[in-house]
Amino acid sequence: MASSENFVTLPNGVRMPIFGLGTSHGGGYNQDSVVFALRECNYRLIDTARRYGCEHLIGQAIKESGVPRESVFLATKMWPTDYGTESAIQAAKLSLTKLDTDYLDLYMMHWPLCPSSVNDVRSTLDDAWRGMERLLDKGTCRAIGVSNFSIQDLAELMENCSVVPHVNQCEFHPYQNPKELRTFCRENNIIFQGYCPLANGLVLKEAPVVNVAQSAGRSPAQVLIRWSIQNGVVTIPKSIKRERIKENCQVFDFQLSPTEMAILDNIQTSLRAVDPTELQGKIDDNKPDGYKLPAHLQYVPL
């Protein structure tokens, strides 16, 4: 996976692997699996977030793997309750502490939403982005971005920003393929990154996916990941199972044909693995980060 074809270059020149490991707390967390991904499968991009409650575990896994920190592209996200210029900076510092590192390769705003108590959402998002720009200026973050931003969200942020987001991370698979948003990102030099490339497993048995997998002689999961990569989209499949982690990374020794790509490119059915209509309630509910993790894995401040 060391080939230059396996990286994308962000607008500021930073190189980002096109393939990595996604993490969360919704599907569980397994420390040994993260170490396995890094040490045995050559994963070099790890994506996490404050909300997942596993930043401290990721930091430990990198050290346990023996892979040098500078060889790992580490991305995390602030939660909307952190939005604001100074609070964004403080949130980044806390993530640095949990991850046991002195810099982030990519730091993102998790959603274009704020707690319901916020009166001026747009100015709060702008304030948070100013904090991100300061983190970039100080070298705390090598790149800054957003997650789940629509064309309108990006356009409004860009009206007042000094630095255009380097990345926009959104759900991406053949059943959630926001072509207009991808075009907008490309035209504005924003790297589009996709999460849930397997739609949390919901599309693995869909006929178009199965048919392309049979045609390519690969598993449905490998075909979906390869489809993202051939579209130039950074992809971060999640799994806590070693066999799936290994299977997911074996996608650099084949290519989908133009016909196979076209089948997956032009699926008309829409499906979301993550329902954005549920997010406002989750932002307002004040549950602790990583609340779905077992107690022994949750972060305890020193």
**Catalytic positions, please?**
52
- Quote the CA–CA distance of 246 and 50 in Å, as a whole number: 26
- How far apart, in whole angstroms, are the C-alpha atoms of residue 158 and residue 185? 12
- Helix 31-39, helix 55-65: angle, nearest 10: 40
Q: Give dist(CA 52, CA 298) in Å, integer.
A: 10
> What CA–CA distances, in Å, run from 294 to 29, 73, 165?
9, 27, 34
Angular region, 161: left φ>0, alpha ψ -120 to 50, beta rest: beta
- Beta-bridge partners for 47: 22, 75
Measured CA to CA in angstroms, residue 195 lies from 66, 155, 171, 175, 206 at distances of 26, 22, 5, 13, 19
